[in-house]
């Protein structure tokens, strides 16, 4: 059975609300949760970007069952990989073993803020590979020194290390990232239901490992209102990751999506309250081989009614899928 998760989307809600949302997700019966890690929202209309790791620490204390996961953290520019390893180990201890570290090569939107520039794709993959090697070495215990082309680590030790290190998820969008994920990841992460990504991941060593997808949805009893909200806050999604990884700020995303129409968004994001529409949107992920799918309810102010509907209608229908 495919597991269904809930997304704490830091771009659309403040920190206290995000913690309340994941508590409600646990009560509703979602199988797991994921958390974005942003310094800025995609669009100004989303309006938020709290520090994800503080939110995760609070969520670990406010919940008891639901797994937690970054979706995803970039361990190369804004954060040094040795610090990411320390944060993840601490989260695993705070959550009682419920944490998974989802990692990706990042987006300019979040990483440029530290003034180091935004490297090209090939360099990003090189940096990401080194970061994964450092994090894995620190998770293995002992003292780590590392001298690569992009990162140095000088005699680092994780003094508070859980008995079981957090599983590492690697976000993929093409052949190169699938190779990295298959070799260095414990699970794969993707935002598109492409079977070729799963096949490539398996080819490079990912057989039998979890595959986690994500799907934006917009529940509202008024479908027109749902479409309007999805267009207002989520039309950035239409750009694809080759574009989304390069734009520097919300104004850039607003300009790049100025000609995206509400009906264009509604073609890719199920809107309204017809459960069958949502089930059919999830189906391609299941058919592509994903074992877990995290939904994103669009609109930070529209989570409570979503949980009521999800508990009564959405989750039962998806369990059948």
Task: Give the H/E segment covering residue 262.
Answer: helix 262-268
Look at residue 69 and give its three-state secondary structure. strand
* Catalytic residue flag (residue 38): yes
Could you tell me the sign of the dihedral formed by the alpha carbons of 113, 115, 118, 124, in that order?
Answer: negative
Catalytic residue, chosen from 11, 21, 26, 107, is 107
Q: Which of 299, 206, 283, 297 is nearest to 7 (CA)?
A: 297
* Catalytic residue flag (residue 125): no
Per the listing, tokens 């070799």 go with 183
141's tokens: 């215990």
Q: In angstroms, rounded to a whole number, what is the distance separating the alpha carbons of residues 203 and 5?
A: 26
Which segments of the chain are extended strands (E)?
3-8, 32-35, 68-69, 99-103, 144-147, 152-156, 168-171, 187-190, 211-219, 271-272, 292-297
H helices, E strands: number in the chain: 14, 11
Q: In angstroms, rounded to a whole number, what is the distance separating the alpha carbons of residues 125 and 154?
A: 22
Catalytic residue, chosen from 21, 26, 38, 179, is 38
Centre a 10 Å sphere on the Cβ of residue 49 and count the other Cβ atoms it contains. Answer: 20
**Residues forming the active site:** 38, 107
């Amino acid at each position: 059975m495919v597991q269904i998760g809930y997304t704490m989307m830091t771009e659309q809600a403040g920190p206290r609300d995000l913690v309340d949302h994941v508590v409600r997700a646990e009560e509703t019966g979602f199988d797991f949760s994921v958390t974005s890690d942003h310094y800025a929202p995609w669009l100004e209309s989303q309006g938020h970007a709290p520090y994800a790791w503080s939110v995760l620490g609070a969520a670990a204390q406010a919940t008891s069952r639901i797994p937690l996961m970054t979706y995803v953290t970039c361990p190369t520019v804004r954060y040094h990989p040795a610090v990411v390893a320390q944060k993840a180990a601490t989260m695993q201890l705070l959550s009682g073993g419920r944490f998974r570290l989802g990692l990706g090569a990042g987006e300019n939107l979040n990483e440029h803020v530290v003034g180091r520039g935004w490297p090209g794709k090939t360099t990003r993959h090189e940096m990401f590979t080194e970061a994964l090697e450092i994090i894995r070495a620190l998770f293995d215990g002992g003292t780590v020194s590392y001298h690569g082309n992009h990162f140095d680590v000088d005699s680092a030790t994780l003094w508070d290390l859980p008995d079981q290190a957090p599983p590492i998820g690697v976000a993929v969008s093409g052949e190169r990232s699938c190779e990295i994920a298959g070799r260095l990841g414990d699970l794969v992460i993707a935002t598109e239901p492409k079977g070729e990504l799963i096949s490539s991941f398996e080819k490079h060593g990912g057989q039998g490992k979890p595959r986690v997808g994500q799907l934006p949805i917009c529940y509202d009893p008024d479908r027109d209102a749902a479409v309007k909200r999805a267009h207002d806050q989520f039309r950035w999604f239409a750009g694809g990751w080759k574009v989304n990884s390069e734009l520097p700020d919300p104004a850039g995303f607003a300009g790049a999506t100025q000609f995206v129409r509400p009906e264009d968004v509604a073609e890719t994001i199920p809107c309204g309250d017809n459960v069958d529409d949502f089930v059919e949107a999830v189906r391609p992920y299941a058919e592509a081989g994903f074992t877990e799918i995290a939904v994103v309810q669009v609109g930070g102010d529209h989570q409570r009614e979503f949980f009521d509907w999800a508990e009564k209608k959405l989750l039962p229908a998806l369990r059948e899928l």
